[in-house]
Structure 1
């Protein structure tokens, strides 16, 4: 939005008003039989000069060009001269005063108004031979100068406030557009991070699982064929679930594990699968009354479980794995525990997002994540989400 000065909005009106007052002046001076032919000709010539000055300087000055001072000076001199020659030309003052305030800065407008009014009063005194009536009219003109200036200042202040509001509105629109741009960029970045975490927690982990299963199948190929078959079946199952995850991510749907299934059922499938993959004792327990959680909370619990089990698969060398989901009135708690190697709390697991991704996801859902571990004592991942989740 661009601010438009109030004078600019009525520019055509200013031109018409000036033309009307000039036309009225012409009619009055021509119709006044008391005006001599010589004075009439001089006044009409001065009117022509005034119109030329307005066309050359005044009209352009209304476009905010710095030519207003030239026109106002000429207009004051011409108008006072015509008034001195023919008093009916005082009608031009109705056009002159508004032009003074529209074309000059405030202080100069006050000075120009004072000069004009005092000049008119001086003409009245001189032409009236300083009689009592002339002094009275001159005094009235001088006294009326003060309310005229106050009115001009008041109107100018209103216009300045309007201009300031227009500037503030323009700044607000600019700020709003910038905020929308920043918000859009932040949303794009957040969505990229979310997709990266989803890809890590699903496709990357699933591909790792398939790779490990195929390696195990190769080892069993020339020995235990039933074991080889079992590994191949699990690899095929994992690959199919990866494909389902890809379709879900592309369609921006819920995770494939939660599509048409409850969270406990999805966690049960994950736990059962890792037990079969690693040939370890894997258990999943649910306590409390099951209830649906907000989608982002269920996704967070699912992804934490997937990541924790993936770390068990890659690092733990565990013999038992347990997953526990507890629904209580105040919160929902998830724990994933293994009896594997564990690690030092200060250590970080390799592999991209890992534990940092878990914490970020849980924090986004409004919960907290704690990891309890030490070398040789396994790992316990604890997640707590508020009941409102």
Structure 2
């Protein structure tokens, strides 16, 4: 009798454990299915917005840029006194066009794309447009590094702002871009050979110059650390460093898989 009771208790506990395990699996699969459906809907919405922006805003910006380029060329050829102003207008149109392209690229991205390849492509395009020499060092590995749409967007904007600052203010002729990662950290280093900052970097942060506050805020959204080194010597250049935890590059579902 006692043996029968013990056996009954044992099988009840065993059955309970199995049921709990199955309920846990069902809950996890249900959550993953809900997340997948939400991701699918979000992707469809992003593509719809991207098409609308491309057919309206992006084309308008492109038209403005073409007019600005024509005006700049015409006034420059005539040595018109307003030629510098027209060139400033062209630079602003270029910047707006670049921003629009980044927005569209971010909306079209479905996530889990190679962040290293995307940043290298961004820097290469920038170098071709500005005529500055860009050297890329991505270490010994050519393995793609998957990245969520949100993190991809933030990192592209960070690099874009760094390169824009170099173009506007550094008077540099070359830029070195280094991208490395290991199991715990993603590292982005950008160094130029320009004139550097004449002001104290802490003052620039506080006063909001060169978009530095925005760069820091974007890095903080990725739980990252952002720093700038700019020696006072002429032509010493500026070095910008970004450190981001690898887990911050993944979407919520990917983080669950990693854990």
What is the TM-score when the length of structure 1 is the normalising length? Answer: 0.36
Give the secondary-structure state (helix, strand or coil) at the position aligned to 2:194: coil
Q: Does 1:295 align with 2:152?
A: no
* Residue number in structure 1 paired with 2:256: none
The 3-state SS of whatever aligns with 2:201 is coil
Q: TM-score, normalised by structure 2?
A: 0.52
- 1:333 maps to 187
Q: Deviations over 1:228-273 (max 9, x none)?
A: xxxxxx9998765544455x4xxxxx72585686322322232223
Which has the larger helix fraction?
1
Q: Does 1:316 align with 2:186?
A: no
Higher strand share: 2
Larger Rg: 1
1:370 aligns with 2:227: yes
Cα displacement string for residues 271-317 of structure 1 (whole angstroms, at most 9, x for unaligned residues): 22332333221123323443213433332221111110010011000
User: Residues 257 and 318 from structure 1, CA distance in 2 versus in 1: closer, same or farther, beyond 3 angstroms?
Assistant: farther
User: How much has 1:348 moved relative to structure 2?
Assistant: 1.6
Deviation of 1:351 after TM superposition, in Å, equals 6.9
Pair 1:276-2:128 in alignment: yes
Q: Which residue of 1 aligns with 2:212?
A: 355
Q: Is the 8 A contact 2:116 2:145 kept in 1?
A: no
Distance (Å, rounded) in 1 between the aligned partners of 2:192 and 2:133: 10
User: Structure 2: which 5+ residue stretches go unaligned?
Assistant: 1-57, 80-90, 249-259
Query: Please, which of 201, 218, 231 is the counterpart of residue 345 of structure 1?
Result: 201
| Distance (whole Å) between structure 2 residues aligned to residue 290 and residue 370 of structure 1 | 25
Superposed CA offset, 1:53-102 (max 9, x none): xxxxxxxxxxxxxxxxxxxxxxxxxxxxxxxxxxxxxxxxxxxxxxxxxx
Aligned equivalents of 2:92, 2:138: Cα separation in 1 = 27
Q: How does 1:252-263 map to 2 (within 5 A)?
A: 255=106, 262-263=114-115
Distance 1:334 1:306 in 2: 13
Structure 1 SS opposite 2:147: coil
Counterparts in 2 of 1:216 and 1:342: CA distance versus 1, 3 Å: farther
Secondary structure at the aligned position of 2:220 is classed as helix
Please say if residues 109 and 149 of structure 2, whose CA atoms lie closer than 8 Å, have aligned partners that are also in contact.
Answer: no
Deviates more, 1:299-308 or 1:259-268: 259-268
**Taking structure 1 as reference, are residues 358 and 276 closer, same or farther at Cα in structure 2, changes over 3 Å only?**
same
1:362 deviates by 0.8
Cα deviation, residue 354, structure 1: 0.7
Query: CA–CA distance in 1 between the matches of 2:119 and 2:108?
Result: 8
SS of the aligned residue for 2:247 comes to coil
CA distance in 2, matches of 1:245, 1:296: 13
CA distance in structure 1 between the aligned counterparts of 2:110 and 2:94, rounded to whole angstroms: 16
Number of aligned residue pairs: 167
| CA-based RMSD | 3.9
Name the structure, 1 or 2, with higher relative contact order (CA <8 Å, separation 6+).
Answer: 2
